[in-house]
Amino acid sequence: MIELVTSPIDYTALTEKVRSPQAGAVVLFLGTVRELTAGRQTVALDYEAYPQMAEAKLAELEAEARARWPIVEVAISHRLGHLELGEISVAVAVSTPHRHQAFAAGQHLIDRLKEVVPIWKKENWVDGSTEWVHPGSESGMPDALSQDRGPPEPRSDAGQGEPRNVV
Amino acid sequence: MKLAVRLFARARDLAGAEQVFLELPADCRVADLREELARQVPELAPLAASLLVAVENDYAADETLLSGTAEVACFPPVSGG
């Protein structure tokens, strides 16, 4: 299950969606609005998406993860719009038979989401200025301030056909 | 052909439009689109080197051939999460 939302993410409900008697492990990742980035103070973030493509890429990521790990259920929710400090921007919940699979799948999903899903954040700094975060671009946040990797390579092999379940 | 290109995030802000229309040769590839975008929308120059191109909701390689009816978007590196 994947979704883009504009209201607060109910991470309890999201976690319940992936719980199952078949899954002995449930991992939940929450991304939240952080106050400090390399010493600069943020008061809020604005998130924007290219919605159709973001949904397509999220569906691809789900299929990719299901092909790699014995996922019972997965739920990804990304919030868009204006988010205040501490609010949840993204939630990834995944359930698998055993814990190492759930941790690995969850990490893979959030890492890939940050690399390929067309969503952008704009910093609202405490001094009133704003700045798009565009990792690797000269006009965005300097590379040293970002942990993100560079732009994704086009993937010709991803997202084709139905998810391959390996359960 | 005339091609509509959707813009997002800082690319949209710089261009001052959510969509721009480019006049392109019929057998245009993504690489040509990049050049024409920089030429026809010079406001995007600060981002030119890092812009990503998507065709029909997926990242497109430079050699991808474009059709006038394709949904094309251009945007800076992503930063969701």
Taking residues A107-113, what's their average pLDDT? Answer: 98
Q: How far is CA A84 from CA A48, A59, A79, in A?
A: 15, 27, 12
Cα A44 from Cα A144, distance rounded (Å): 21
Average pLDDT of the residues of chain B:
95
Digit-coded pLDDT (tens) for A52-109: 999 999 999 999 999 999 999 999 999 999 999 999 999 999 999 999 999 999 999 9
Digit-coded pLDDT (tens) for A57-69: 999 999 999 999 9
Q: Give the pLDDT confidence score for residue A138 in this predicted structure.
A: 55
Residue A148 has pLDDT above 90, yes or no: no
Cα A42 from Cα A36, distance rounded (Å): 6
Asked if residues B77 and A137 have their Cβ atoms less than 8 Å apart, the reply is yes
- pLDDT-based confidence at B48, cuts 50/70/90? confident
Tell me the residues of B at the A interface, defined by beta carbons under 8 Å apart: 6, 8-10, 13, 46-47, 49-50, 52, 54, 57-61, 71, 73, 75-81
Closest-approach residue (CA) in chain A for B76? A134
Q: Give the pLDDT confidence score for residue A165 in this predicted structure.
A: 40
Query: Going along A33-102, which residue ranges are E strands?
Result: 36-37, 40-49, 73-79, 81-84, 88-96
